[in-house]
Structure 1
Amino acid sequence: MNWTLEVVIVPVSDIDRAKAFYADRLGFAVDHDTAFGDDVRIVQLTPPGSGCSIVIGKGAVPEMPPGSLRGLQLVVPDIRKAHALLVERGVDVTDVQKIGENPHPVPDPLDNVGFVFFDDPDGNGWAVQQISSRG
């Protein structure tokens, strides 16, 4: 039996600001933006190539303090290109960092251990890791 993670709720204070950040700056696809009256709104966005989406909204999502989610992680095949793209799109992102040692010899010394970090406008923390090959 497969158990797939398909959706992560991201707590935000301003739905429109967060939607613009994730769609315009990070390039996530807006899967849907649905309102049910004034009290319920659900926006689902998916990173390019991902099987897991994020949901932001109000009313039908669990209440969590905006900015309280830490440790979300995206994976890319080239951390240098990802960093350049984030900078180009105006994301306040850290420099590329090497964290740890790769347990297997690989052509790129950043494979599996290259990271950048950024926060969304509410302070939810994201990491981006380079994995171009798996052991």
Structure 2
Amino acid sequence: MRQTLSLITVVVDDYDRAIAHYTNALGFELREDTDQGGGKRWVRVAPPGSRETCLLLAMAGNDAQRARIGDQTGGRVGFFLQTDDFHRDHARMLAQGVEFLEAPREESYGTVAVFRDLYGNRWDLLQLES
């Protein structure tokens, strides 16, 4: 048996603003943007080279969902963006205005730094040791 984690939902306040952030600031690719009617869209973005897993950008549809924007994991790092060149991507993201919460650090498993996306969700930018 083979299974794949294909989508992870990130609740956002505006589709176009979210697409701009994930594609410009984080360098993701827009994989799909399909109008579903009634103001809803099916929007998938993914890091370049990602073959199976995408983020599904889902616009909040009620107060309960709006309250979760940016805090889907209770303030913990909830997303891990693995790269083959930490320093290249860190520099590019800084130049795009991405907010890093710490300086890069070397750990036993690799190089890492925590950043926030447009909504405040915490991410690790991570390059694993080979």
User: Which TM-score band (shorter chain)?
Assistant: 0.7 to 0.9
Instruction: Name 1:66's counterpart in structure 2.
Output: 69
> How far off is 1:82 after superposition?
1.8
Which of 80, 84, 88 is 1:81 aligned to? Answer: 88
- 1:10 match: secondary structure: strand
Change (3 A) 1:59 1:66: closer
Is the CA contact (8 Å cut-off) linking 1:76 and 1:129 kept in structure 2? yes
Alpha-carbon separation, structure 1, partners of 2:5 and 2:99: 27
Q: What is the aligned length? A: 120
Percent pairwise identity: 32
- 2:91 match: secondary structure: helix
Structure 2 gaps of 5+ residues are none
Greater per-residue strand proportion: 2
Structure index of larger Rg: 1
Q: Which amino acid is 1:46 matched to?
A: A
TM-score normalised by the chain length of structure 2: 0.80
Is the CA contact (8 Å cut-off) linking 2:110 and 2:129 kept in structure 1? no
Instruction: Name 1:49's counterpart in structure 2.
Output: 49
- Please show how residues 29-40 of structure 1 align to structure 2 within 5 Å: 29-40=29-40
TM-score normalised by the chain length of structure 1: 0.77
Instruction: Name 1:105's counterpart in structure 2.
Output: none
> How far off is 1:84 after superposition?
0.9
Q: CA RMSD in A?
A: 2.1
Greater per-residue helix proportion: 2
> How far off is 1:67 after superposition?
0.9
Which of 107, 110, 114 is 2:111 aligned to? Answer: 114
Alpha-carbon separation, structure 1, partners of 2:39 and 2:90: 37
Alpha-carbon separation, structure 2, partners of 1:11 and 1:118: 18
Which of 105, 116, 123 is 1:126 aligned to? Answer: 123
> How far off is 1:35 after superposition?
1.5
